[in-house]
Amino acid sequence: MPTQSTAPDSAGNELRDMVRDFVANEIRPVVEELDATERFPAEIYEAMGKLGLLGIAIPEEDGGAGGTVRDYVTVMEELSYGYASIADQCGLVELVGSLLSIFGTPEQKQRYLPGLFAGTTRCAYALTEPGAGSDLGGIKTRAVRTADGWRLTGEKVFIHNAPVADFAMVLAVTDPDKRKRGGMSMFLVDTDLPGVERAYREKKMGQKASPVGGLIFNDVELPADALLGAEGAGFGAVLKVLEKGRLGIGSLANGISRAALDTAREHATTRHQFGKPIAENQAIAFMLADMAIDHQAARLLLEHGADLLDRGAEAGSACSMAKVFASEAAVRNSSRAVQILGGGGYIRGVEAERLYRDARITMIYEGTSEVQRLIISRALLK
């Protein structure tokens, strides 16, 4: 197992040490098996629930850990250092749990949050559609009022946890004339309701133990209390948690970056060519230096964004900067790790190869790199 990076750690604390122990004892021993089988590791999530590692930055009165966004950033990086798929689940619970905490009624919170934070209830965050990814204003899933509640019709694609979720937070159009300006609403949809169909399970390049698939809603009858938050307020509510979500994915990416640095450094110091460790060759040493720079710079950007959110300050541009830099750094660092390991880095079952596959999606989900640059440039030019 690679050694932990010795890069400066400005947020070292008991939480980080606890998560590192959990990763070493519970996650790393099964990573290869999870990547090979694509199994959903329910037992790991239940263990995380017992440790309070689900709902990190959600108030204790709602069942969360009551931590800060900085704590959330810390936990996501450490979990991803073990395996990005596990961190991905933690991030999903944080997003859905945040929406329920902020907008849910007492009855909705009581119904969903205890199991969610215990790791026994599985959620999905159903936004993306065949014709609407980066542009959420283009979604077509429709919810129409009925005498008893709502009727939901539509399709969602590329949805994390769709194959296993017990319920989904679904964004739907409730007023086609207003759409994202007051015409979209959030709904809590139990996946065992008549008309809910799990359409398929995708075969992914990486993060294979984090299942992704489609959800189809065929005239699903929902009770009135399935509405989460105010009618028409769904688009703004989703945007409200996106900044924390982007820091979460950026931190996940940075865990991959650090794992890539450590496995590359271990190989470079033990692999000998021409009578000396390859780390003594300047070409390799400089590559390791660049990996350390990328990891540390990303961490500082992520911590800055987290500090802004914790203070309640404007953080949109800062969170986008952190997400785009950290995700692209993860792709660079995992690619460098493969290069340093040479042919061995291209073999299935070698950590560098898995990290390379796991890293690529971080530039796409929770807002593509192009969307992040659009947000940043708009803030600069406003």
Bridge partners of 168, per DSSP, are 124, 189
Torsion angle of the four alpha carbons 289, 291, 294, 298, in this order, in degrees rounded to the nearest 10: -120
Q: State the burial class of residue 102 (Cβ atoms within 10 Å of its Cβ: 0-12, 13-18, 19+).
A: middle
Tell me the C-alpha distance between 30 and 47, whole Å: 14
Give CA separation, 26 vs 46, 163, 306, 329, in Å.
Answer: 12, 24, 27, 27
Q: Which two tokens stand for residue 29?
A: 């021993």
Q: Phi and psi for 159 in degrees, rounded to 5? A: -95, 120
pLDDT of residue 224: 97
pTM of the model: 0.94
Active site residues: 366
Could you give the CA distance from residue 22 to residue 48 in angstroms, rounded to a whole number?
Answer: 9
pLDDT, residue 4, reads 45
Domains, the chain, in order of start with CATH, read: 14-122 (1.10.540.10), 124-232 (2.40.110.10), 236-381 (1.20.140.10)
Between CA 329 and CA 250 the distance in angstroms is 10
Which alpha helices (H) appear in 190-281, and where do they start and end?
234-270
Q: How would you classify the pairing of strands 123-126 and 167-173?
A: parallel
Provide the pLDDT for residue 180: 87
Q: How far apart are CA 284 and CA 339, in angstroms?
A: 9
Give bridge partners of residue 201 from the DSSP assignment.
213
Give pLDDT, residue 382.
87
Return the pLDDT at 13.
Answer: 85
CA distance 276 to 317: 46
Residues of the chain short of pLDDT 50, as ranges, are 1-12
What is residue 10's predicted lDDT score, i.e. its pLDDT? 40
CB hemisphere CA count around 22 (13 angstroms)? 25
